[in-house]
Amino acid sequence: MVPISFASGELFLTEDGKAVTVFGADEDAAAILEIFSRIAAIPRCSGNEDGIARFLLDRAKVAGFTAEEDAEGNLFIIRPGSRGKEAVPPIVLQAHMDMVCVAAPGCDHDFSREGIDWYEEDGIIRARETTLGADNGIGLAIGLHLMEHPGEMHPPLQLIATREEETTMHGAAALDPAKVAGTTVINIDDEEEGFITTSSAGMMTVAFTFPTHRIRVRGDVSWQTVEVAGGRGGHSGMEAGSGRANAISILGNLLSGLMRKTGCALTTIIGGERDNAIPGQAWACIGFDPVVVKQAIRFIREDERTIRETYRDTDPDLRIRIFPATPQDDVISPKTAAEVVSLLTGLPAGVCAMDPVIPDLVATSSNPATVREVAGMLTIGLSARSNKDAILTVLGERFRRQGKEAGAAVSIPGVAPAWHYREQSLIRETVAETYRDLFGTTMHLRGLHAGLETAWIAKKIPEADIISLGPDIRDAHTPRESASLPSAGRVCMLLRETLRRCADIREEQ
């Protein structure tokens, strides 16, 4: 190739006279940031992916790619192989379009209408008071950038962009395997550079619903708000083993203690925001006999000291407060309130079991994630994960039993399978060797205690050779979320060189 100029990478003329831009990690990072800035400007909470889908389809059309949208709203974008590599088996890149939408307390960001207010500082991207959406916006940007600039030599490429990964995984679950162009799949939805993920946990969402029979309040009542706030929260799979505080479980135990020691009436209980996030805050409005208010306040303050000491390292900003509330006209019936609190105290929160073979890998976990009252129905939402599908089935039966005993209606609206380790994997070996050659360090293999869409692809295409990787992303699913641009640039370089090597390897085969 003959070099012509250097700008955002080096421009070369190939033997057939075509211009090819050769990117370095810094140039890749700048291009990824440009694409991410456009993605971040589009509202794309789970279930609201039409805008981002239009952006991707329009961009694919401008680039001259073949692109289609299936009945479920998943996108399939195809670029032919480079000259002489058109018949090489394709490589599939896969990411999801949606994001978790969580705002910091007091932030009134309207995710349905507003894009993300992000900024970059010293190579790190963050958002102001909301989740950033780097999960999976950065992966999507990397995939699109590679489609547009795959290098001089590459196999046929397909970018699959799915919907609703962060909630039900409906897009991946409904994926038509006939539309997947190849059996080598690289998922770009991991959050730590230097790792190749080779397996993931299955996930189940559970809803416990109570009719909130209400009764009018009579007599003198002291109304108080009990608040648990300042928990770090985080991804309920990736952070399952971190020991972080679950604000809903803590609040449930506090209410249980108050009911036993002083008696109280419950009128409102709210906590958490998403099924797949550890709740960092929860609160309840309760009523006391004025005679016992001081005793209740002492109980809360004593428990706060114990709880803060317990979570001193994992949740340094955790706080528990009790303060006067606006007088209420009615309360949840004592029977229903007792049933709700009893269930909250009985639901497991955090690690249920560690993997007996792989060190430090959580095998099974449970996360009471949300509690809300809507239209006279109070619902507790829970997510559970396990690296064995059979254990999720057992947990489902346990939760049905617990809910029934507490008087709740129980539904399991979503179950996603686990993804299991593949003994032989050419793409895993190629990526690991390429990373070592490029950066001089060894990639590590791991299983994740998080659900990945790779599980659905593996279930639908058993012969598929699948890995997951990605750049450094921290505190996903929280307003502290951040992403490293230099890391994104390196991951992009890794994938581009991997595509080149795959084109050679597969042609030889």
- Beta strands in 89-183, from DSSP E residues, in sequence order: 91-96, 118-121, 124-127, 157-162
Q: 461-487: buried (b, 16+ CB within 10 Å) or exposed (e) per residue?
A: beebbbbbbbbbbbbbbbbbbbbbbbb
For residue 134, give both structure tokens: 């780097």
Of the candidates 347, 340, 331, 348, the one whose C-alpha atom is nearest the C-alpha of residue 406 is 340
The tokens for 3 are: 């070099």
How do residues 117-140 score in pLDDT, each as one tens digit?
A: 999 999 999 999 999 999 999 999
pLDDT of residue 3: 37
Lowest mean pLDDT among 48-57, 86-95, 166-175: 166-175
User: Do the domains 24-201+419-508 and 204-415 sit in the same CATH topology, yes or no?
Assistant: no
- Output Rg (C-alpha) for the chain, integer angstroms: 25
Q: Which residues pair with 222 in a beta bridge?
A: 288
pLDDT of residue 55: 98
What is the per-residue pLDDT for 451? Answer: 86
Asked if the model's pLDDT at residue 509 lies above 70, the reply is: no
Any idea which architecture 24-201+419-508 has in CATH? 3-Layer(aba) Sandwich (3.40)
Average pLDDT rounded to a whole number, residues 8-35: 67
pLDDT at residue 168, rounded to an integer: 84
For the chain, give me the number of helices (H) and strands (E)? 11, 26
Q: 3-class SS at 354?
A: strand
Instruction: Name which of 10-14, 125-129, 168-172, 231-235 the model is least confident about.
Output: 10-14
Find the DSSP H helices in 10-121: 25-40, 50-63
Task: Look at residues 474, 439, 494 and name the one whose alpha carbon lies nearest to residue 28.
Answer: 494
Q: What pLDDT, on the 0 to 100 scale, is given for residue 252? A: 98
As given in the structure block, the two tokens for residue 322 are 């009790």
DSSP string, 455-501: HHHHHH-TT-EEEE----EESTTSTT-EEEHHHHHHHHHHHHHHHHH
Helical segments of 154-231, H only: 170-173
Q: How far is CA 508 from the centre of its chain?
A: 39
Lowest mean pLDDT across 21-30, 87-96, 269-278: 21-30
Predicted local confidence at residue 306, as pLDDT: 96
- In the chain, the percentage of residues whose pLDDT exceeds 90 is 88
Residues in the chain: 509
DSSP 130: B
- Residue 2 in this model has a pLDDT that exceeds 60: no
pLDDT band at 14 (very low <50, low <70, confident <90, very high): very low
Mean pLDDT of 433-448: 96
In the chain, domain spans = 24-201+419-508, 204-415
- Structure-block tokens of residue 20: 């090819």
449-469 pLDDT, tens digit each: 988 999 999 999 999 999 999
Do 287 and 328 contact (CB within 8 A), yes or no?
yes
pLDDT of residue 352: 96
Average pLDDT estimate for 22-36: 89
Closest CA to 163 of 94, 232, 214: 94
Residue of 278, 205, 310 whose CA lies nearest to 480: 278
Q: Is the pLDDT of residue 501 over 80?
A: yes
What's the pLDDT tens digit per position in 82-119? 999 999 999 999 999 999 999 998 999 999 999 999 99
CATH architecture of 204-415: 2-Layer Sandwich (3.30)
pLDDT tens column, 278-335: 999 999 999 999 999 999 999 999 999 999 999 999 999 999 999 999 999 999 999 9
pLDDT band for position 506 (50/70/90)?
A: low
How far is Cα 205 from Cα 411, in angstroms, rounded to an integer? 9
Task: Find out whether 226 and 270 touch, Cβ atoms under 8 Å.
Answer: no
Predicted pLDDT of residue 507: 55
Q: What per-residue confidence (pLDDT) applies to 22?
A: 56
| Whole-structure pTM value | 0.81
Q: How confident is the model at residue 42 (pLDDT cuts 50, 70, 90)?
A: very high
Judge whether residue 163 has pLDDT over 70: yes
The mean predicted confidence, pLDDT, of the chain is 93
The pairing of strands 195-200 and 444-448 is parallel
